Structure 1
Amino acid sequence: MKKSYLLLLLLLFSLPTFAQDYFPKNDGVKTEEHTITAFTNAKIYVTPTQVIENGTLLIQDGKVLQAGANVSIPKSATVVDLTGKSVYPSFIDPYANFGIKAPKRSFDRNSPPQYDAKRQGYYWNDHIRPDTDPMTTFTYDNKKATDLLKAGFGTVNTHMHDGIVRGNGMLVALNSNGDNSMRILDNRSAQYLSYQRSNSTRQAYPTSLMGSMALIRQMYHDADWYAKGKAKRRDLALEALANNKNLVQIFHSGNKHNSIKTDAIGDEFGIQYVLIGDGTEYENINAMKATNASFIIPINFPKAYDVSDPYAAGVVELEAMKHWNQAPSNPKALADKGIVFSFTTHDLKSPKEFMGNLQKAITYGLDKTKALEALTTVPARILQQEDKVGSLQNGRQANFLITSGDIFDKKTVIYENWVQGNQNVFKDKSHKDLRGKYAFNVAGNVYDVTIAGTPEKLKSTVMKDSLKLGSKISFKDNWLQLQFTTADTTKTEFIRLTSPVRNATFFAGKAILANGSESSFNATQKEVSGSKDKKGDKKGKDKKMEAPKMFPLSYPNGAYGSAALPQQETILFRNATVWTNEKDGILQNTDVLVKDGKISRIGKNLSAGNARVIDATGKHLTSGVIDEHSHIGAFAINEAGHNSTAEVNMEDVVNPEDVDIYRNLAGGVTTIQLLHGSANPIGGRSAILRLKWGRSADDMLFKDTDGFIKFALGENVKQSNWGDTETTRFPQTRMGVEQVFTDYFQRAREYEAKKKTGTYRYDIEMETILEILNKKRFVSCHSYVQSEINMLMKVADEFGFNINTFTHILEGYKVADKMKAHGAGGSTFSDWWAYKFEVNDAIPYNGAIMHSQGVVVAFNSDDGEMSRRLNQEAAKAVKYGGVSEEEAWKFVTLNPAKLLHIDDKVGSVKTGKQADLVLWTAHPMSIYAKAQTTMIEGTVYFDLERDTQLRRKIKNERTELMNMMLLEKNKGMKTQAVKKKDKVHHHCDTVEF
């Protein structure tokens, strides 16, 4: 008995020594000036790849003096024993808004638009704000700093999240005990850009993504011009841009498609951007690699949808469900491809979510070393701040974490986060982790005790043989208190134990037995928490968490995507009815051989060779349908901020994942002209697309074609139906529309004259209009009323060029002779009328009448639904006007090809032309006809049988994913409410902002 009391006394007297390195929670302690602190016996991650076991870290005056295994510790140093602990460099967030509040929108969306800049002495567009200095509004936010410190961050790179060019950033140490002179490591750490307009101004331009891209390009041209001393007045914004030129350029592009386009803009002007990702980079990882950019990626992985209501669950898109399943693999995909990336807390509701999401990414295969690099050395390198932060090498900021173990282990506790040598305590690092299985020897009786829960909030299970006893445990300041019932459960009698704990593997203390007598106990740890079972597994090693089943990528990565990109084939269509659109007319029982993407041979009984043979008996083979006027497959349609936006380009905003592309292929459409809308008289440049479903936006562009641009007449351009506030932009009348054209054409001629002298400011808009005047770019004009059609032809004649196509042109029948004389084509609706005032005179005989006068006539859609039924629209030319079937079919094939200047490549079935072909199950203009096979350049992008298989696959994938989501909810995981994503059907008058 005396020995037990002596042991207890020894333990009690040793307690103060045991706790001497404990700093009270929330009591940040700043090291005294010039004091050296030595952290000993720790596992030190100097860098993610330089790890010292049982090492020593010396710090002084907020910086690292030395880290190593054999460090000489000065006698004057304060020594902190970190036996069993790990030390990591504190994390860096390279994309934050810490301490800087972006301005709120100061105007109502219903306010009249502002067309001119308000800032005097600055750039002509208020959304360009490179002069923004975050120092002027920076306020250290203690609450947010605490949240970030608890998540492991010691440094943030912060800036104003407002505007297209947002100014410079600041590198800030999260030192709550310092002041700004100490915290701010670099007040010009980077320059930031985005495509989002500023809330500080209501200047109308740009209203679209393509407008933002055009504005950035023009800004760079203007900056070069200004730097050469060409400007007549001072521009403070362009001067700031020049001053920021050598800073790291960080661009928030918005999504994986924009990242590709943003990098291309950078390449155009010799700039390598650091790109802010959106977490979908894995879907197009090869293109991300090709940018050669470094990425900063959020890890805001989506929560599972609550699909318990089967009716609500039906509206969740497969794409969204697959992203929930695949998103945590994004960091691994980047790492595997060798792409340099770092992490950010941006887009997270709270930094508390950060580590859980990162651990999930590791579960999905992200290497832990890569993860640590993405938090430390990589962001430091991206920001060119490796000499200050990101490691514990000599001379770096003394920013480090003290943890209970592996930083990425779920059980690991971050005890402290030191920033610039100042201590922030979040957990008592002397606090022992008692979780595990023990044998408690109490007065000669052995009890099996399992301690679980968290280190701060434990739970106990006490067993006596096979009997479970009621128990309660408390552990505070390394003192254990455990009480449990006796084996006789009919009595409420308790055994109470108390003991200090210095070593979790063995400890001893006092026991108060059920009869009130005092005794002793000791506890021996048999198994630590999370160790493997006894059947051959090693103790103390956690089982590696298995990654959940991840669905494979498809192209595109949603509904109707293929497991692999389709490839060119050699195919023989056997015994088809071939609509050649050539002098041969319609050929019966004819074979067509496709090889190397082209029509190789046409004839009867052709040799198949190694070709795949498609039996086309009773079926019709035609060239692919071409839509001269389409708005599918785009992220934006109108740039409405100016009355002329010739500088914008639809090629910048191609959305290759728009499901309408697949639907159009199912309707036999192979090529479209993606046109700008009709928000202004002079719109943007168009994109001619081949509908190569699953491929990138760049792959869809029809190569080696003439350039086109959208013009518009009528109600839309004069803002007739835009609302009462839209009354300030010129033009507001039809006669004003004419003046816009003459003014801009005259300006372009004057620009051309200056250009020849060499003393000119490069203007993308004027360059484009000059291309029109010099017949290097061709006009497709939205039109209805005969008077305006006449007007524009006269203006074109005056400036020496031709209008290529009047699109819509519902009054073309009134001016067909004049169009023929001018050389204009007509792309019209088959039978639309009376949907607004200026189409009251439309008639269904319009196309036939123009055709009879020798005008090249096409039927267009301007609609995502009509476009996949253009084969049926062609038939209306037979019904209304008696056009022959062959000529009517040309209205949606060869004629639009002629209008787009691509008829030498597509539009007919002719040897040597590109194999853009459709095999129809019946007469191509029949309402019963289906496109069985649609190919582009000899590659099948739609197949009726494969479509059936894809529909089954979609159903199966949705079912399996929903079951996985239901399991998540049943496990108690957080879910998100079902959201319906409404499909946006773009039209001429669609305005984004």
Structure 2
Amino acid sequence: MKKLTITLWAFAAMFTAKAQNPAPARPQTRPIALTGATIHVGNGQVVQNGVLVFDKGVITAVGGPGTETNGAEVISLNGKHVYPGLISPASTVGLQEVAAVRSTLDYSETGYINPNIRALIAYNTDSEVIPTIRNNGVLLTQAMPMGGVVSGSSSVMQTDGWNWEDAVLKKDDGIWLTWPGYFTRDFNMDDFTASLKRNEKRQEALNPLRATFADAKAYAALPSPETKNLKFEAMRGLFDGSKNLYIRADYGKDIIEAVQFAKEMGIRKPVIVGGEGADRVVEFLKEANVPVILNTPHRLPNREDEAVDLPYRLPSILAKGGVTVAISYAEEWWRTRNLPFLAGTAAGFGLTDREEALKLITSNTAKILGIDGQVGTLERGKHATLFVSRGDALDMRTNVVEMAFIQGRNVNLDDKHKRLYKIYKGKYEGERPLAEKK
């Protein structure tokens, strides 16, 4: 009886949670023109008092006050700002819900080399986290797998849809590799201190890794193999340039070695993810033409001799060094809603042009993920994936998202945070201050 009660409770909780999220938006049915706003194109350009027109989910015109609206439904946005949908790379949003509840974690698979694993089919569109990030302008996310040495394939997802088939923008955009570095971090639970120690299992991990990539390269050279190998089929795109190889590496020496490994194996598009020590190898990254997806700058320095503000300045150091750089919340999925404020921090620490900082979460990210032909900037022919903010989207004091469109669909901006705010505001709104009660 107890087991039955627990089962029924679990089902009730599941359906209750699902009912709380707003339904996905319906397709656009008529042309819409946004007028009078400051349009931040995402490529460094700004259009004052601009006009943006979109129809059937595609932008048809972007320009100044005289731009023709061609009978579209006009929405006046005087004094407000229009931005391209922000893109969160290297994320587990939609793949995990509550860290302490194992049944809600679906971002890794058993084993060490799993290139055939697809994060795509694990993406949960009913996640309560997704609406909270959408509410700050994050309209696209890259669902990345984790675990092992070769974790699997990521996919670029929209933050609105009935299921993963509806939400996907780009399937299997790249394979994820955790580079076996020279050092590992050791955390002492007794005194809560972290320290570096030599990675004793490094060579043990490198040997099968090299063998796997060498075999995959040979397999990719076969025009039509008689027997399909699922792991090697998943890696085929690495060698023809249709997929990225995302390499998790932080320290300078590891970054150099990982990129050299990728080039040696004939992989055309390596991307460094994490890159906390990338400031030491800027010239190398520029010459190798390797982009970097940085982990959150809102962290402490890794070394005692590093400047306390180095993580804040790192995006600027790389960008000024000629490296294409993006920002992510790589493992802190629930904080992804703060993505625009990471770019705001970069704007305050070196990237003085706020439009350049905006690129870190729009056009640069789109370019790295290979979706810049569809999203990342507000240009004619691209998807109408954009949002309207009351003020500067990179400033948490003024980022108030009032409208959001994903492929022209007007997305509902309700979320759990707003619902809780309304509930407790109603509870305490009519109560007298404590001092008066006494």
Same fold (TM over 0.5): yes
Task: Report the alpha carbon displacement of residue 771 of structure 1 after superposing the two structures with TM.
Answer: 2.8
In the alignment, is residue 669 of structure 1 matched against residue 138 of structure 2? yes
Matched AA of 1:742: R
Aligned partners of 1:745 and 1:799 also within 8 Å: yes
Q: Which residue does the alignment assign to 2:59?
A: 599
Task: Name the CA distance, whole Å, in 2 between partners of 1:839 and 1:644.
Answer: 36
Q: Which residue does the alignment assign to 1:747?
A: 215
Task: Name the CA distance, whole Å, in 2 between partners of 1:688 and 1:804.
Answer: 17
Task: Report the alpha carbon displacement of residue 935 of structure 1 after superposing the two structures with TM.
Answer: 1.1
Unaligned runs of 5+ in 2: 97-104, 190-198, 425-438
In the alignment, is residue 617 of structure 1 matched against residue 84 of structure 2? no
Return the TM-score normalized by structure 2.
0.80
Task: Report the alpha carbon displacement of residue 948 of structure 1 after superposing the two structures with TM.
Answer: 11
Task: Name the CA distance, whole Å, in 1 between partners of 2:247 and 2:241.
Answer: 15
Aligned partners of 1:802 and 1:824 also within 8 Å: no
Aligned partners of 2:238 and 2:269 also within 8 Å: no
Return the TM-score normalized by structure 1.
0.37
Task: Name the CA distance, whole Å, in 2 between partners of 1:952 and 1:609.
Answer: 42
Task: Name the CA distance, whole Å, in 1 between partners of 2:324 and 2:350.
Answer: 15
Bigger relative contact order, structure 1 or 2 (CA pairs below 8 A, ≥6 apart): 2
Aligned partners of 2:347 and 2:353 also within 8 Å: yes
Alignment of 1:369-448 (within 5 A): none
Aligned partners of 1:919 and 1:933 also within 8 Å: yes
Matched AA of 1:557: K
Alignment of 1:701-740 (within 5 A): 701-703=168-170, 707-713=173-179, 732-740=200-208
Unaligned runs of 5+ in 1: 1-299, 306-316, 325-555, 724-730, 957-993
**Do the aligned partners of residues 667 and 716 (structure 1) sit closer, same or farther apart at CA in structure 2, a change above 3 Å counting?**
farther
Task: Name the CA distance, whole Å, in 2 between partners of 1:951 and 1:652.
Answer: 29
Greater C-alpha Rg: 1
Q: Which residue does the alignment assign to 2:95?
A: 634
Q: Which residue does the alignment assign to 1:763?
A: 229
Of 400, 411, 427, 1:930 maps to 400
Q: Which residue does the alignment assign to 1:901?
A: 370
Task: Report the alpha carbon displacement of residue 560 of structure 1 after superposing the two structures with TM.
Answer: 3.0
Task: Name the CA distance, whole Å, in 2 between partners of 1:605 and 1:870.
Answer: 34
Alignment of 1:247-266 (within 5 A): none
Q: Which residue does the alignment assign to 1:229?
A: none
Q: Which residue does the alignment assign to 1:817?
A: 283
- What CA deviation, in whole Å up to 9, does each residue of 1:439-494 have, x standing for no partner? xxxxxxxxxxxxxxxxxxxxxxxxxxxxxxxxxxxxxxxxxxxxxxxxxxxxxxxx
Task: Name the CA distance, whole Å, in 2 between partners of 1:749 and 1:821.
Answer: 24
Matched AA of 1:577: T
Of 677, 690, 696, 2:158 maps to 690
Aligned partners of 2:21 and 2:126 also within 8 Å: no
Aligned-CA RMSD value? 3.6
Structure with more of its chain in helix, by fraction = 2
Of 258, 273, 292, 1:807 maps to 273
In the alignment, is residue 798 of structure 1 matched against residue 268 of structure 2? no
Q: Which residue does the alignment assign to 2:101?
A: none
Task: Report the alpha carbon displacement of residue 614 of structure 1 after superposing the two structures with TM.
Answer: 2.5
Task: Name the CA distance, whole Å, in 2 between partners of 1:839 and 1:904.
Answer: 42
SS of alignment partner, residue 53 of structure 2: strand
In the alignment, is residue 875 of structure 1 matched against residue 344 of structure 2? yes
Task: Name the CA distance, whole Å, in 2 between partners of 1:817 and 1:559.
Answer: 49
Aligned partners of 1:793 and 1:803 also within 8 Å: no
Q: Which residue does the alignment assign to 1:245?
A: none
Task: Report the alpha carbon displacement of residue 847 of structure 1 after superposing the two structures with TM.
Answer: 1.1
- What CA deviation, in whole Å up to 9, does each residue of 1:700-745 have, x standing for no partner? 1104x6721111125799796799xxxxxxx953344443432212
SS of alignment partner, residue 845 of structure 1: helix
SS of alignment partner, residue 254 of structure 2: helix
Aligned partners of 1:784 and 1:839 also within 8 Å: no
Matched AA of 2:367: K
Task: Report the alpha carbon displacement of residue 612 of structure 1 after superposing the two structures with TM.
Answer: 3.5
Aligned partners of 1:650 and 1:675 also within 8 Å: yes
Q: Which residue does the alignment assign to 1:650?
A: 119
Task: Name the CA distance, whole Å, in 2 between partners of 1:838 and 1:685.
Answer: 36
- Give the number of equivalent residue pairs: 399
Matched AA of 1:589: N
In the alignment, is residue 861 of structure 1 matched against residue 329 of structure 2? yes
Task: Report the alpha carbon displacement of residue 801 of structure 1 after superposing the two structures with TM.
Answer: 2.1
Q: Which residue does the alignment assign to 1:586?
A: 46
The alignment-based identity, stated in percent, is 19
Aligned partners of 1:784 and 1:838 also within 8 Å: no
Aligned partners of 2:109 and 2:117 also within 8 Å: no
**Do the aligned partners of residues 908 and 323 (structure 1) sit closer, same or farther apart at CA in structure 2, a change above 3 Å counting?**
closer
Matched AA of 1:645: N
Task: Name the CA distance, whole Å, in 2 between partners of 1:838 and 1:658.
Answer: 39
SS of alignment partner, residue 686 of structure 1: strand
Q: Which residue does the alignment assign to 1:775?
A: 241
- What CA deviation, in whole Å up to 9, does each residue of 1:490-511 have, x standing for no partner? xxxxxxxxxxxxxxxxxxxxxx
SS of alignment partner, residue 139 of structure 2: strand
Task: Report the alpha carbon displacement of residue 698 of structure 1 after superposing the two structures with TM.
Answer: 0.8
Matched AA of 1:934: A
Task: Name the CA distance, whole Å, in 2 between partners of 1:717 and 1:663.
Answer: 36
Task: Report the alpha carbon displacement of residue 930 of structure 1 after superposing the two structures with TM.
Answer: 1.3
- What CA deviation, in whole Å up to 9, does each residue of 1:779-808 have, x standing for no partner? 112111111110011112212223432111
Aligned partners of 1:666 and 1:942 also within 8 Å: no
Alignment of 1:8-87 (within 5 A): none
Task: Report the alpha carbon displacement of residue 950 of structure 1 after superposing the two structures with TM.
Answer: 8.1
Task: Name the CA distance, whole Å, in 1 between partners of 2:372 and 2:47.
Answer: 20
Alignment of 1:517-596 (within 5 A): 557-562=18-23, 565-569=25-29, 570-582=31-43, 585-596=45-56
Matched AA of 1:594: F
